[in-house]
A and B are shown apart, each in its own frame.
Chain A
Amino acid sequence: MMFSSLSSQHSAFPFAVSSPSRKAVPPSETRCRYVPVRSAPPSMAPHGFGRGHRLTGGLSVGRKRRLVRFMEGISLWMAMLLVLFVQPLYAEANTDNEDSAGTLHFLDGKGQWQEPALVLGSDFDVRVSGLIADSKLVRTFKNTSDDWREGVFVFPLPEKASVYGLTMKVGGRTIVGEVQPRAEAKKTYEAARDSGRHAATVEQQRPNLFTTRVANIPPGAEVSVELSYQQLVSYRDGVFELSVPTTLTPRYIPGESLAVAPQQWQGGWAVPTTEVLDADAISPFTVDVDDVAADSHRASVKFTIDAGLPLAQVFSPSHQVATQQDGQVVTVEPQAGDIVMNRDFVIRWQPFAGQEPGAAVFHQQWQGEDYLLAMLVPGRAGKTRLPRELTFVIDTSGSMAGESIRQAREALQLGLETLVPGDRFNVIQFNSQPHALFMQPEMATANNLARARQYVNGLKADGGTEMASALTLALQGQGKSAGEMPEDAARVRQVVFMTDGAVGNESALFSQIRRQLGDHRLFTVAIGSAPNMHFMREAARWGRGSYTSVQDLADMSGPLARLFAAMEAPVMTDIQVTWPGQSAAVMEDSFPQRPGDLFQGEPLLQVVRGVAPAGKLRVSGRLPGGGSWQQSLDLQQAASGTGLNRYWAREKIDSLLDDARIEGQEPDKERITKLAVAHNLMSPYTSFVAVDKTPVRAAESALLKDNLPTLLPAGSQPGMARYPQTATFAPLMIALGLLGLMLSAAIVLLQRRAYP
């Protein structure tokens, strides 16, 4: 400590010239003198050191002696300088560990940066069978430090994933986790953590956002956590699609901060606000790929696809993939080996033209109960085009900066192209506030379209994501224009919402959409490398529209063309599903209970419990012209499937949560918990926890917590500013310069002394 107090006095010394505090402000007349010298200073500096050059010339003995004395003086002076200059550095190194315990965990004695202690590896093994994809996700936490660590990692899963298993592997042993009510699981985990046992837990924060915690990772060892989950393959327009999210776009957290202190500085995590109470749990720190260890945040991915029918092609719009076919089973792996987890992995497969399935039925018996999953693609209905009123809403918040806003602009331009004379349209952008191009929707004239194109081209991404006010603006005005002209009443009102869905208050927005929708239909277009697909799907569902996602600029026109075609085509409404042996219990247990409207190319999916695979499933609906439409499906043809019970349970839980939202009540927590435990599922109220029996960490060794960051989605710009680089090489150069001069002076002296 003596040294440190010394250092604070002396360390300023070499910089005395630089410190503005030592410089008296000259009176104003003298200032003008500086003006002509503007470019002069460089010539001043070398001047004083020119003397060194004369040393090697031939000199008389007397002058030599004088020179030697002079050199001795000079080197003594420089040695003094150097000591003063270097001394604080040693002092700094010595005092580092004592006075700043909390902030300098990652520093070693010399003040050097150390790599984050935990290295994260992921391994996805996805097996597709028919319509259900079953995944095993292994997360490996490798502790590279000398301390015991607790790892915390927030990660996304597909938006309709049912998580049904957790196993922890440590040192060759496997510990199977179990489902417990959320609070209980947390207690179990914390007790195990504090008593020094191996433990792992996974919690659901949002339907597509989870947190895993792993306690007591031994120094230099590895703990892996295997998560089993299943999801439904999406099928539309003859193409199957599966997406594996690997990271998340940082969510915007609206509302006032709840924390009393103005800044909590929780290592970059957001603090809870009035509108998002769990903000700290869903906003992991996002970093660039370069900021994590070279082998961290890499994932190996393997897909095994058994589609049940011959496939024409398997491809990925997001990654380069290598496929291998073995009969009907196709194995897909990324060409580059391990992928960086900064972009959703999307894979699509397509049957041969003309062989696209129009219907499918799967059956499973689980604990004596029958479960049926049916898919039906309605045939194409005739085309009757109605004049439309189209409102494009584009997200120009900070999270859209970079590649995303370019995608969104491009998508909007494509959308503008679908307008025909007779349509009305408007463009609304929003960030912290919404802004509309026109006061009211305008006719799609060449003039207005040109204005819109110009407006769209000028859009820039910056600011917050206050979605609520934008939705209000987009969904308003139906009462106003209805009175204007009779033909306006027949207009189809559609809202196209282009966003990355990076918001933390999803639930409030869904309620708002439901309240304000009126006769509008809301279509969502997911933008970016890691959009919030849960938001896209649910917003479209509450908005009675459909959703689509674009992966990159090259891939954009395909999905968007399909969306815009679907928007133009008539919609089948009032869809009724009748299962054989219609009973109240069956009605209660078939999901979704109120099938939404069907757009062209969209399949109808139904899952039911308690219906044997016999008889016929009847589906009927109404066309916009007033005509009716009917189709039936023979259930006897059902193929056997797996995991249907979990899919059913997840749908049941979602439906219970929906009912609660519609009625504005608290969800039936007990019922959901019971259901989730029975089917061994993760839910908002149940978590997985795995605990080892014997303690491994001695009580006296400390456990350090390590929040693992997630990667910033590819192509997006960080919404937060980085701390700038605020040091120069000047001290280093001064020290090296002094050292070099001293060394040469010493050499000169030695030479003179040795051979006089």
Chain B
Amino acid sequence: MSRSLLLLITSSAMLLVFGLWVPIKAVVAQELLEIAWAESQARQTESRPWPWADTWPVAKLSMPELGDSMIVLAGVHGESLAFGPGQMMGGNGTETAVVIAGHRDTHFRPLKYLEPGNELRLQGRDGRWQGYRVSATRIVDSRSEFIDTHKLPAGTLLLVTCYPFDSMDAGGPLRYVVEAQVDDTARLADKEDDHSSVLYSQAILDEIDTVAGL
């Protein structure tokens, strides 16, 4: 009896630990990514947050209304999504559409509080912030709708996460999509912030060298 009880306790504890491991990893990784992001801005190269990582920071996403910001990684494979939202497509500035996907259990949990009219900001590797404004939120069925990558107008930012937010089912077909358009007024307001962030990344350069020295 006591042996099976012990087994039950240990296995439940293990499950709990593995379950909690995901959000813990997500939080800790973001801290490491901050450093890698500063480093890649300073060096203007892809810099991996840790030597064996198979992804690297490509942008920083900020949601001013929610007081939240996070580092966006390259690719949407499981490895990158565990540490931060991943960039599916898009790249430099507003010439192409940008699609970013993240886990609903971790980084993209705040997505459900975004409303049309809210501001989003995306920082590229050059340190420049691009302002976006949320134009719509939708729920799509991933089995009957795809992202038509050729048809997305330039200057669109799509944030994708799973839906419903509190579901236990990790393989559900529904997705929550936040659609935002480039908004230059939002960007102008942040000129100052833009400037300081560039300075910041310059200032951090020496420090980065010591990090690299480790």
A→B interface (CB under 8 Å): 7-8, 11-12, 15, 17-21, 23, 25-26, 28, 31-32, 34-38, 41-42, 44-46, 49, 52-53, 55-56, 88-89, 91-92, 96, 100, 103-104, 106-107, 111-113, 116, 257, 262-263, 265, 267-268, 270, 285, 287, 291, 398, 463-464, 709, 718-741, 743-744, 747-748, 751
Contact = CB atoms under 8 A, between A and B. Distances in A.
Nearest to B78: A725
Contacts of A20: 26-27, 30, 68-70, 107
A21 B27 contact: no
B214 interface: yes
Contacts of B25: 41
B205 to A, nearest CB: 12
Contacts of B21: 41-42, 45, 730
B95 to A, nearest CB: 14
A747 B5 contact: yes
Contacts of A34: 28, 31-32, 35
Nearest to B107: A20
Contacts of B199: none
Contacts of A265: 138, 140, 145
A739 B86 CA distance: 32
15 contacts: A26-B31, A34-B31, A34-B35, A89-B166, A92-B166, A267-B145, A268-B148, A722-B142, A726-B76, A726-B101, A733-B18, A734-B19, A740-B11, A744-B9, A747-B8
Contacts of B188: none
Contacts of A55: 5-6, 9
Given A724-B160, A727-B167, A18 B140 contact: no
Most B CB within 10 A of own CB, among A26, A106, A729, A751: A729
A632 to B, nearest CB: 55
List the 6 closest pairs (A to B, CB-CB), nearest first.
Answer: A740-B12, A18-B23, A737-B16, A733-B19, A734-B19, A720-B146
B67 A744 contact: no
A56 B153 contact: no
A107 B13 CA distance: 34
A733 B151 CA distance: 39
Contacts of B189: none
Contacts, number: 267
Interface in B79-134: 81-82, 86, 88-89, 99, 101-110, 112
Given A268-B144, A743-B8, 15 more contacts: A15-B23, A17-B24, A18-B109, A38-B50, A89-B167, A103-B139, A720-B148, A724-B160, A726-B102, A728-B82, A728-B106, A730-B22, A732-B19, A735-B19, A741-B13
Contacts of B8: 740, 743-744, 747
Nearest to B166: A88
A725 to B, nearest CB: 7
A737 B18 CA distance: 9
Contacts of A91: 166
A92 B12 contact: no
B105 A11 contact: no
A720 B30 CA distance: 30
Contacts of A32: 35, 207, 210-211
Interface string B185-209: 0000000000000000000100100
Nearest to A115: B143
Contact of B105 (A35, A37, A100, A731): A731
A91 B112 CA distance: 16
B151 A31 contact: no
A616 B78 CA distance: 74
Contact of B24 (A8, A31, A41, A729): A41
Contacts of A96: 164
B88 A721 contact: yes
B107 A56 contact: no
B172 A19 contact: no
Contact of A726 (B12, B147, B161): B161
Nearest to B136: A263
B10 to A, nearest CB: 7
B143 A113 contact: yes
